[in-house]
């Protein structure tokens, strides 16, 4: 329904003849008097009848609402039951502008989405809703951490909120959102947690991309806390000065921690299109790409495996455990 | 009056590289709050600055600045982002002598708009100074000077400059540059040649003005370097292996950074900071003095012209420089030499170690042929052929 035009193009391109009512639905909808498939029939009726609009998925219904010139507030109020939780989160701002309220349960949102949502809010609003937002982020982090909560020992995290964390125009502030989500997740995973933002800020909720990336200095700060695990969430553009973080990590691994007592992992939320990989920070520390903060426990396990710290059996056990948990939750 | 540029209070930080452009940030521990600057966007239309009658010179002026200032050191946020309409759009009877582009007239380069406000156009002051230094006309009229040069001065007073957007890679470099929290200035290197230095009194000013660097003027040399230059190396940090503790590691990291700052100030920026300049005071307002400065026109070396606002003790509050191209340096060198000898060709030629007719032809070659009477020039040509 939602990708009708796209599907039509794909079928036409591949010369596939769709069977049943799909053919008329896609190619000759005007000739059809009625459909036997209920969803297609609702779609046909929605062209003429307001009530049918509200039985369609939200994104499809939105187009019909515009066509029928349905008032935005009325539309949102009646379509609300059909909305997915991400759609609810997305329309919060436009709904409040139109004096309509769409109930959203922030507590049930995935962690990284929630972090993106928090970063999309203006700073004064974040201050006003501090309790609510922090609570939701914590709850999401607790869920993402699952049984591993508190099991990571002393964790020091270097989190990049430099200007380059603004991300792309398509996914605005995505690197920063991942860093913020990691911040809350690591706080749950760690027994003792030290967050170090590159800008030196201490209030994570008010994060915004600002300034240069002194990763080297922050890594030094982090190592001073003598952590069990060091996590660096950054796009890897260490520019104040270039290569200091890499050198610090190299010398530290070679001279100060040759036994590899500390687990150090670099998590990179930015995919580098030029070499089809994420940018590495240092040879001494494994780098893994991270898309959602929820994957961090798995990724760290992977990183340890690639580094040769854990064997295949451990990795397998870890993933069996995760699969079991996923099935339990599902 | 000759001075050296005094960058006391500014700290050199690690450079950021993008392609052939290296940007070196300068930070201030204590921002200057008594002087603030604001951009006045004139759009991208070329402007024409009216200096006096018949002394228009053509150049590209993307914007002017307004200096806001208070006697005591109170912040001047109230002046904030006020934009004043510039009411000096008087289209005179003269046809603007340029390539058919729409021009705007700015009555004077620096003038009081109202109390406590000083408006001026960056770089123009400097380039105007460069042109005006000798083009006002020598005091003693020697017979060699043509009637035309006496009547009209050296005309047209045209210098070529390129907007920053035409400098390959500069716009991208500025876009990707991460501004330091206390940053009050930047040195722009193109193919590791210092193209421009820019210093403002306050970090907020810098943040506001950072993007305007791309609209500034850059010399021909910078344009060519950017077009033909290769990406410059990044100067990655190398740390020694012999450390015993984290404190040691921190110390060597700090030493490495200090080493870079020292290397930069003493070597990379030596062409700007190591030279002395002839300054010309334009305006004085409270504690601050606006002046423009000229280099000594050393041939085949870096020469920068620029404008400068200094406080009472001579520390730089505002600085903007423009690097001259080789041809401009040669012209400046010739003119400076002539001026030093009261525009007397034989003595100037002797000082340069060449004959009079060689100097005459060199002047002609540098575009100052109109200075010399046609028959004298013909005589020089004949002399040269002999």
ipTM of model: 0.78
Query: How many CB pairs below 8 Å do chains A and B form together?
Result: 86
Is the pTM for the entire model greater than 0.80? no
Instruction: Tell me if B241 and A255 make a contact (CB, 8 A cut-off).
Output: yes
Shortest CA distance from A213: residue in chain B: B178
Contacts of B246 in chain A (CB under 8 A): 220, 223-224, 252, 256
Q: In this complex, do A212 and B244 lie within 8 Å of one another by their Cβ atoms?
A: no
Give residue B26's pLDDT. 94
Those residues of chain A that have pLDDT short of 50 are none
Instruction: Establish whether the linkage from the previous residue to B166 is cis, with ω within 30° of 0.
Output: no
Record: contact B235-A254, CB cut-off 8 A: no
Instruction: Quick: pLDDT tens for B196-210.
Output: 899 888 888 788 778
B103-123, pLDDT tens digit by residue? Answer: 333 444 444 444 444 444 444
Q: What is the pLDDT of residues B294-326, one digit of tens each?
A: 888 888 888 888 778 888 888 888 888 888 888
Among chain A residues, CA nearest to B253: A244
What would you report as the CA-atom Rg of chain B, rounded to the nearest whole angstrom?
A: 23
B256 in A contact zone (CB under 8 Å): yes
- Does residue B135 contact residue B154 with C-beta atoms inside 8 Å? yes
**Closest CA in chain A for residue B239:** A247
Q: pLDDT at position B160, please? A: 64
- 8 Å CB contact between A198 and A234: yes
- Closest C-alpha to A137, from A181, A170, A72: A181
Where are any strands of DSSP class E within chain B?
2-4, 10-12, 16-18, 21-28, 35-41, 47-49, 57-58, 63-69, 104-106, 110-112, 117-120, 157-158, 162-163, 183-190, 193-199, 217-218, 276-285, 288-294, 304-310, 316-323
Q: Among A162, A243, A256, select the one facing B236 at the smallest CB separation.
A: A243
Interaxial angle between packed helices B220-228 and B326-340, expressed in degrees from 0 to 180 and rounded to the nearest 10: 160
By three-state DSSP, how is residue B104 classified?
strand
Cβ contact (<8 Å) for A247 and B237? yes
pLDDT value of position B55: 35
Helix pair angle (B246-263, A244-251), 10° resolution:
150
Contacts of B245 in chain A (CB under 8 A): 256
Which member of B237, B241, B244 has the closest CB to residue A242? Answer: B237
Of B79 and B276, the structure prediction assigns the larger pLDDT to: B276
Q: Do B249 and A251 touch (CB under 8 A)?
A: yes
Residue B191: name the closest of B23, B16, B304, B22 by CA: B22
Over pLDDT 70: what percentage of chain A?
99
Q: How much is the average pLDDT of B224-251?
A: 89
For residue B203, give how far its alpha carbon lies from the nearest alpha carbon of chain A (Å).
12
Q: What is the pLDDT of residue B114?
A: 40
| Selected residue of A166, A226, A244, A245 to mutate for chain B interface (largest B Cβ count, 10 A) | A244
What is the structure's pLDDT at B150? 61
Q: What is the pLDDT of residues A225-282, one digit of tens each?
A: 999 999 999 998 888 889 899 999 999 999 998 888 898 999 999 888 777 888 888 8
Residues 164-223 of A with CB under 8 A from B: 164, 199, 210-213, 216-217, 220, 223
Residue B145 pLDDT grade (very low, low, confident, very high; cuts 50, 70, 90): low
Q: Which two three-digit tokens encode residue B233?
A: 């190396």
Distance CA(A60)–CA(A3), nearest Å, equals 9
User: Chain B, 18-37: which have a CB under 8 Å from a chain A CB?
Assistant: 25
Whether chain B has a CB inside 8 Å of the CB on A247: the answer is: yes
CB-based contact, B253 to chain A, within 8 Å: yes
Q: What is the pLDDT of residue B308?
A: 82
Contact A239 B243 (CB under 8 A): no
Q: CB distance A247–B239 less than 8 Å?
A: yes
Q: What is the pLDDT of residues B149-205, one digit of tens each?
A: 666 555 444 556 777 778 888 999 998 899 998 999 999 999 999 998 998 888 887
User: Do the beta carbons of residue B222 and residue B192 sit within 8 Å?
Assistant: no
User: For residues A231 and A263, what is the distance between their CA atoms, to the nearest angstrom?
Assistant: 8
What is the per-residue pLDDT for B121?
A: 45
Q: How buried is A203 (Cβ within 10 angstroms: 0-12 exposed, 13-18 middle, 19+ buried)? A: exposed
Confidence of residue B67 (pLDDT cuts 50, 70, 90): very low
State residue B84's pLDDT score: 27
DSSP string, B124-179: HHHHHHHHHHHHT--SS--TTB-HHHHHH-S--EE---EEGGGSTTHHHHHHH---
Report pLDDT digits (tens) over B326-371: 877 888 888 888 878 887 888 999 999 999 889 888 888 877 777 7
Q: Which residue, B51, B310, B66, B69, is CA-closest to B199?
A: B310
């Amino acid at each position: 329904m939602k990708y009708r035009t796209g599907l039509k193009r794909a079928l036409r391109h591949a010369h596939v003849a769709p069977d049943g009512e799909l053919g008329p639905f896609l190619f000759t909808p005007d000739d059809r008097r009625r459909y036997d498939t209920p969803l297609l029939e609702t779609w046909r009726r929605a062209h003429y009848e307001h009530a049918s609009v509200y039985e369609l998925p939200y994104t499809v219904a939105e187009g019909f609402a515009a066509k029928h010139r349905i008032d935005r507030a009325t539309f949102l109020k009646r379509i609300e039951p059909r909305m997915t939780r991400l759609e609810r989160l997305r329309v919060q701002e436009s709904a409040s502008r139109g004096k309509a309220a769409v109930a959203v349960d922030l507590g049930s949102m995935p962690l990284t989405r929630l972090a993106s949502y928090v970063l999309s809010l203006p700073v004064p609003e974040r201050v006003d809703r501090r309790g609510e937002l922090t609570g939701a982020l914590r709850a999401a982090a607790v869920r993402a951490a699952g049984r591993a909560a508190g099991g990571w020992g002393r964790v020091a995290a270097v989190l990049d909120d430099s200007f380059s964390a603004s991300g792309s125009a398509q996914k605005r502030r995505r690197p920063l959102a991942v860093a913020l989500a990691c911040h809350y997740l690591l706080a749950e995973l760690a027994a003792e947690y030290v967050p170090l933002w590159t800008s030196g800020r201490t209030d994570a909720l008010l994060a915004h991309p600002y300034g240069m990336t002194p990763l080297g200095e922050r890594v030094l700060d982090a190592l001073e806390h003598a952590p069990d695990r060091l996590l660096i969430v950054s796009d890897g553009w260490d520019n104040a000065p270039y290569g200091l973080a890499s050198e610090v990590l190299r010398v530290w691994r070679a001279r100060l921690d040759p036994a590899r007592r500390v687990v150090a992992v670099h998590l990179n939320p930015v995919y580098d299109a030029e070499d089809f990989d994420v940018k590495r920070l240092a040879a001494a520390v494994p780098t893994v790409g991270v898309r959602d903060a929820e994957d961090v426990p798995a990724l760290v396990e992977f990183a340890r495996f690639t580094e040769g710290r854990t064997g295949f059996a451990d990795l397998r056990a870890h993933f069996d455990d995760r699969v079991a948990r996923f099935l339990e939750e599902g | 009056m000759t001075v050296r540029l005094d960058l006391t209070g500014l700290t050199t930080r690690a450079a950021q590289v993008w392609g052939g452009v290296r940007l070196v940030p300068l930070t201030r521990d204590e921002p200057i709050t008594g002087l603030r600057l604001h951009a006045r966007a004139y759009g991208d239309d070329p402007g024409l600055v009216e200096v006096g009658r018949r002394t228009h010179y053509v150049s590209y002026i993307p914007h002017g600045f307004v200096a806001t200032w208070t006697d005591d050191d109170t912040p001047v946020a109230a002046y904030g982002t006020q934009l004043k309409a510039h009411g000096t759009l008087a289209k005179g009877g003269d046809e603007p002598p340029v390539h058919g582009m729409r021009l705007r007239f700015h009555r004077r380069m620096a003038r009081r708009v109202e109390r406590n406000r000083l408006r001026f156009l960056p770089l123009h002051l400097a380039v105007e100074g460069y042109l005006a230094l000798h083009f006002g006309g020598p005091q003693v009229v020697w017979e060699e000077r043509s009637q035309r040069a006496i009547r009209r001065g050296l005309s047209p007073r045209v210098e070529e400059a390129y907007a920053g957007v035409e400098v390959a890679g500069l716009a991208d470099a500025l876009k990707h540059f991460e501004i330091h929290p206390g940053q009050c200035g930047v040195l722009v290197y193109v193919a590791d040649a210092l193209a421009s230095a820019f210093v403002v009194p306050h970090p907020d000013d810098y943040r506001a003005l950072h993007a305007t660097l791309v609209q500034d003027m850059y010399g021909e040399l910078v344009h060519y370097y950017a077009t033909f230059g290769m990406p410059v190396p990044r100067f990655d940090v190398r740390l020694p292996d012999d450390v015993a503790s984290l404190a040691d590691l921190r110390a060597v990291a700090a030493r490495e950074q200090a080493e870079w700052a020292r290397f930069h100030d003493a070597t990379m920026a030596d062409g700007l900071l190591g030279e002395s300049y002839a300054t010309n005071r334009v305006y004085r307002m409270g504690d601050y003095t606006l002046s423009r400065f000229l280099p000594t026109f050393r041939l085949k070396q870096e020469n920068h012209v620029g404008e400068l606002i200094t406080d009472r003790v001579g520390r730089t509050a505002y600085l903007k420089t423009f690097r001259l191209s080789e041809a401009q340096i040669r012209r400046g060198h010739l003119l400076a030499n002539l001026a030093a000898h009261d525009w007397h060709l034989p003595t100037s030629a002797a000082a340069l170690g060449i004959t009079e007719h060689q100097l005459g032809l060199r002047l002609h070659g540098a575009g100052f042929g109109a200075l010399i009477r046609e028959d004298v020039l013909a005589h020089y040509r004949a002399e040269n052929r002999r």
